[in-house]
Amino acid sequence: MELRKRITIKFLTFLSILAAYLLVAFALIIYFSQSHTSNNSLEPSELLNALSMETVLNENTVSIPSDILQSVSKNKGWLQILDGTGNVIFNYDTPDDIQSSYAPGELLVYKKSPGTFGYQIYTWYREIGIQKITWVYAIPYNEQDAHKLINDPHTWIIIAGLSLVVTLVIAVIFGWRMGMPILYVLDWIENLANRIYREPANRKKPNYSRNSTNKWMQGPFRTYREIMHSMESLSNSLRENEEKKRQLENAKEEWIAGISHDMKTPLSSVRGYADLLSSGRYEFSQEQICEYSGIIGEKAAYMEELIEDLNLTYSLSNNALPFHFELHNIVELARRSVIDFINSGLIQGAQVHFENSEDDEIFCYIDTKRFKRAVDNILSNAAVHNESGTQISVSINTIRNTGTFPLAEIIIKDNGKGMDEQTQQHLFERYFRGANINDRSENSSGLGMAIAKQLIEAHNGSILVDSKLGIGTKFIIRLPKN
């Protein structure tokens, strides 16, 4: 809304400037056209009418008030009064080369040809008593030309030309102020379409520091500052996403290579023992057959787990995994997960403790199978990636002062070797195995923690990790209570 308002104001401002110029231009034209008239006391028709009314004939003498005669002088004109026969009976400021009598129709010829006669002729006819009197008022033709400048087409051509030039200048300035940022944005968009995630370098832009908060606050870019900031933010986001995509592709390739290696190792064992048992060249005791079959089953289960993890994480990413949410006591479910984990034999010397300082019943809407899988993955991560004898604790409590509604909080922590900052940042990413993995985690698929995070978030919950090298790791799971 602010951007639209600024663009509207700027457009109206330039439009007002153009309108003001045109008004001033026409005002000057009118003033210029009236400037000569303003120096005259009367127009020709008014002057002649006044002369006819104020002229007094007394036998052979003619008298006219001096103030009216002064009006004739101000216009640089001259005056003649003719009797009924065309003879001049009165002259005022009449040049010596002007005739003293006129033939019938001669004045009409002079009026129609002022350029030939040299004067613009105005006449007035009136009867005084029994006498027929004609007043002749003349203005030099060049003076009349100046007086009628407004009617000269050349004047209008000059005025139109100047107006066009000024209008073009205003239009160019307006176009530059309004159009250059748009062209800049179009170039920027073209860069983004070509996967060049930076500002265009082929157009003039403000010379400000990259760290300046006023980068887009001056010049023609100020009007579009929100768009410029958005484009800058979009470029940075796309650049970061491109880098993350590249890192993800690298991690994916590494993961595929690792999974292929991990699959090849147990598959070799399965195939080797299967060929050995089926060859018929050897006789095996029942104990050996059970041992070899157990190894085959163990390796097959590991391969099955790898495939299941891969299918699960992609189903979660595509929202293709069905969930069945029901109201359950997560205290009991967490306790059961701990017991099952202890009985599974995966802890390899780790000590697992279950703690619950509050009620034995904390209810949440969960999918029991998926929720247990998330907890199992975190417990497995704590046991597999730490040394034997690591202490692992699981505790559950309620957070009531959240500002919205109570949350159930599950904390799984250990006193193991911990994780560095980079491992914590990428821990929940698919295919990530970490930089400080020991030999005990060689069967890791790199998907366990990503699956745990996806499952918790599918329950409208959140999962956080807090770890320090040499001190231990703490996972915090928070779910909305009933």
- Taking only the tens of pLDDT, the chain with its 482 residues reads 565 666 667 667 767 777 777 777 777 666 665 554 444 446 788 888 888 888 888 877 888 888 888 888 877 789 988 888 888 888 888 988 888 888 888 888 888 887 677 888 889 888 887 888 898 998 887 644 545 555 556 767 777 777 778 777 877 777 777 777 777 888 888 888 888 888 787 555 554 434 444 555 566 677 777 778 888 888 888 888 888 888 778 767 766 776 676 677 778 888 888 888 887 777 888 888 888 888 888 888 878 877 777 777 767 766 667 788 999 998 888 888 888 888 876 666 678 888 876 667 888 999 988 898 899 889 888 888 888 788 899 998 888 765 667 888 999 999 988 988 888 888 887 666 655 444 444 455 667 888 889 889 988 999 999 999 989 999 999 998 86
- The reported pLDDT for the residue numbered 412 is 92
Report the DSSP pairing between strands 351-355 and 391-399.
Answer: parallel
CB neighbour list of residue 359: distance below 8 Å, 6 or more residues apart:
331, 398
Residue type at 374 in one-letter notation: A
CB neighbour list of residue 264: distance below 8 Å, 6 or more residues apart:
none
CB 71 within 8 A of CB 122: no
- The reported pLDDT for the residue numbered 472 is 92
Tokens 């949350």 sit on residue: 407
Neighbours of 184 (CB within 10 A): 23
CB 75 within 8 A of CB 42: no
- H/E stretch holding 449: helix 448-458
CB 399 within 8 A of CB 218: no
CA distances from 7 to 172, 205, 220, 273, 281 (A): 17, 19, 11, 78, 90
Beta bridge partners of 472: 468
Report the distance separating Cα 337 and Cα 340, nearest Å: 5
CA distances from 118 to 111, 330, 401 (A): 10, 117, 105
CB 69 within 8 A of CB 58: no
Tokens linked to 153: 């087409």
Sign of CA dihedral 239, 241, 244, 245: negative
Angle at 278 between CA 306 and CA 303, to 5 degrees: 0
Could you tell me which of 102, 88, 72, 73 has the C-alpha nearest to residue 133? 88
- Which conformational region is residue 104 in: left (phi greater than 0), alpha (psi within -120 to 50 degrees), or beta? beta
- The reported pLDDT for the residue numbered 411 is 93
Q: Which SS3 state, helix, strand or coil, does residue 372 take?
A: helix
End-to-end CA distance of the chain: 41
Neighbours of 271 (CB within 10 A): 12
The arrangement of strands across the sheet holding 472-480 comes to: 351-355, 391-399, 407-414, 472-480, 462-468
- The reported pLDDT for the residue numbered 462 is 92
- The reported pLDDT for the residue numbered 473 is 93
CA distances from 17 to 31, 164, 220 (A): 21, 14, 17
Which own/partner contact pairs does 143-149 have at CB distance under 8 Å and 24+ positions apart? 143/36, 143/75, 143/76, 144/114, 144/120, 146/36, 147/36, 147/37, 149/32, 149/33, 149/36
CB 26 within 8 A of CB 34: no
Q: Which SS3 state, helix, strand or coil, does residue 399 take?
A: strand
Tokens linked to 431: 């295919």
Q: Which SS3 state, helix, strand or coil, does residue 311 take?
A: helix
- The reported pLDDT for the residue numbered 467 is 92
